[in-house]
Amino acid sequence: MQKERKTRSLRMANMHIPSHILMSLWTLVAGFPIYLLIINSLKTKKAIYANPFGLPVEWTLDNYAGVVQGGNFFQYFGNSTLVVVVSLFMILFLGSLAAYALAHWKSKMSRAVYFFFLLGMMLPIKIATIRLLELMKVLGLLNTLWSLFLVYIAMGLPTSVFILTEFVRSLPRDLYEAAYIDGAKRSRIYYGIVLPLIKPALATVAIYNLVPIWNDLWFPLIFITHESKKTVLLAVTRLQGQYATDWPKVFALLTLSALPVIILYLSMSKQFVAGLTAGAVKG
């Protein structure tokens, strides 16, 4: 019996070898840009041009000190954080409300509204950049963070509604019936039952929208020109000149801007994986 178990375990291990090799290769491909980003942020200009792929001969933190002390880094970081927090909160709040309504609204009109949100996933919002610029100018929102709030909320709502609606539909109806019998109103059911049960889906939607909002350069570059309203990635353009670019500081600034996203992803990775797995099973 022991020999049979050993042979089975060996066979199972051999079956997983190709997948482990592929995952290892993918890890190297995905981690190589991060490696270049970090090591080049710890070099001088001459060291980068001399050997951009090797480890630094002389390690230095002057680039990080120059980024933090030489500019309005904390103001840029605060603007980016505020934009991400407000946009994600509204995406999750409005998306969960819409999902709760669409999951229990059985009519042709509800299907039309649901399909309208799906259209938002098919059409990239950047194709309407000129019209959005004209709209923000008419509303007087240029050079304000409100312009970014509205664009990012509109950009994230379709995905939020699509994912959360399926999760709300998968919840057992017995929970709603028991809540109705106890005299709970729809608002109480939403806050007390629906939201706690769809936390994995909310984490999935949050991480899915966090990266494109934080890393977006397109709309801040178009809507924001005032120095006090710039985001972190928009500040990178200040380090890029027409004839010369301070690459060590660029890498240092990009490294600092990537840290919050990496930390948040690592802290919410369990919820993210749980949301994806549950969506695959329930979808």
Could you please report the per-residue DSSP string of 64-130? HHHHHHHS-HHHHHHHHHHHHHHHHHHHHHHHHHHHHHHHH--SHHHHHHHHHHHHHHHS-GGGGHH
Residue 204 placed within a domain: yes
Q: For residue 205, tell me if it sits in a domain.
A: yes
Work out the number of other CB atoms within 10 angstroms of the CB of residue 39.
19
Q: Mark whether 181 and 41 lie in a shared domain.
A: no
pLDDT number for residue 82? 93
Q: Is residue 263 part of a domain?
A: yes
pLDDT of residue 283: 42
Query: Residue 271: which CATH number?
Result: 1.10.3720.10
**Secondary structure of the chain: what % helix, strand, coil (to 5)?**
80, 0, 15
Residues with Cβ within 8 Å of residue 32, at least 6 apart in sequence: none
Confidence tier at 213 by pLDDT (50, 70, 90)? very high
The pLDDT of residue 189 is 82
Q: Do 153 and 13 fall within a single domain?
A: no
Q: Which domain holds residue 198?
A: 62-282
- pTM, full prediction: 0.80
Residues 215 and 90 in one domain: yes
Local confidence band at 247 (pLDDT 50, 70, 90 cut-offs): confident
Query: Tens of pLDDT along 76-99?
Result: 888 999 999 999 999 999 999 999
Mean pLDDT value of segment 161-185: 82
Whether residue 256 sits in one domain with residue 207: yes
